[in-house]
Each structure stands twice: as structure tokens, then as C-alpha cells.
Amino acid sequence: MSPAPRSVLVLGGAKSGKSSYAQALAEGWGGRLVYVATAQAHDEEMTRRIARHQADRGPSWSTLEEPLDLEAALKRADAPGTVFLVDCLTLWLSNLVLGAELEDGQVSERGETLAALLPSLQARIIMVANEVGLGIVPENTLARRWRDLAGSLSQRLARSCDAVLLITAGLPLALKGGPLPLD
């Protein structure tokens, strides 16, 4: 039997069940559960989504909100017995590209820094990201740029993580690290 993973990347499309699966996986691991939120409530729809996620998690979770400096936030909150659930890397990427207005090289460096941080964490970590490369080629430059950066970030983190799952219709497909039981 292989050792339990310390880092997991959970990929999936919109409404694929990736966040629910990642949450159930984290809860099954036990320990101090820390939800690392990268979303920002810029409109009513996002405010409702955030509230729904908070209600789904319940009181056993603490929340660490960090839209930009994810790496520093993880370092500050790192501790043995902690389980981080980062949801989601795709929004973090949007924050870096649109909010912080980072250039592609700077975004890539941030992804490299995050990937390099994973093995040094005392906590276990589950990271959620949208799989955006399965659809049509976007019609505008910004959307193509963002899709390419998201794909590169997922590839880099997948190389660093112990396990990678693709969630489709709520069902996991282990891409790396074997199946991960929820209980």
C-alpha cells in the first residue's frame, strides 16, 4: 500500500463536483481543516456562491481568505496536523492576471514558487482548479492567454503533487497517485 498523499491537485470542469469531492477528501483526512479561499465577492452572484460554499463546509472549518499572496498565506498558517483546501487556483490565477496585472513570466514564477513550497509544508494540502483546456479555443486574446496560463499552472502543480484527480460528473479519475478513498 502506498503512503497517504501529502499534496493533491483536484481538477474538473465547472460544476463537475471537484470542490465537493475535495472537501470530502479533506474531511476524511481529519485534523485542523483550513479552507483557503481565493475568491473575491465582486458581485451578487459570487457573493451567493461564497455563502453556499461556507454553508456547505460548516463549523469544523476555519477560513483563510487570500486572493493574491497564496504562498505567503500557506507558510504563515502551516502547522502539523493541518489540512489546507485551496479553492480555487483558477480564481487565484484570475486575481494575479486581472487584479494584480502580472505579466505571464511573473505568473509562471508564482506557480513555480507555489509548486516548490508544497514539499516543505508540514500540513497536507488539497488544491482545486478548473480544467479549462477541453473546450473550444477562446475567441479573444485575454481568454486564450488565461487558458494557456491555467493549463501551465495545472501542469506544474501536477508534477509537484503526490496525487492528481480529474473529477467528472462527481466521479474521480486518478491521473496520478492511485485512487483516494473518501473514508
Residues acting as catalytic residues: 53
Radius of gyration of the chain measured on its C-alpha atoms: 15
Residue 25 and residue 92: Cα distance in Å, rounded?
Answer: 21
Distance CA 169, CA 23 (A): 16
Q: Which residues contact 174 (CB under 8 A, 6 or more apart)?
A: 163, 164, 165, 180
Residues across the chain: 183
Cβ 93 vs Cβ 149: under 8 Å:
yes
What single-letter DSSP state applies at residue 119?
Answer: G
Place of cell 505568473: 107
Distance in angstroms (rounded) separating the CA atoms of residues 149 and 144: 9
Look up residue 48 and give its three cell numbers.
451567493
DSSP string for residues in 152-170: HHHHHHHHHSSEEEEEETT
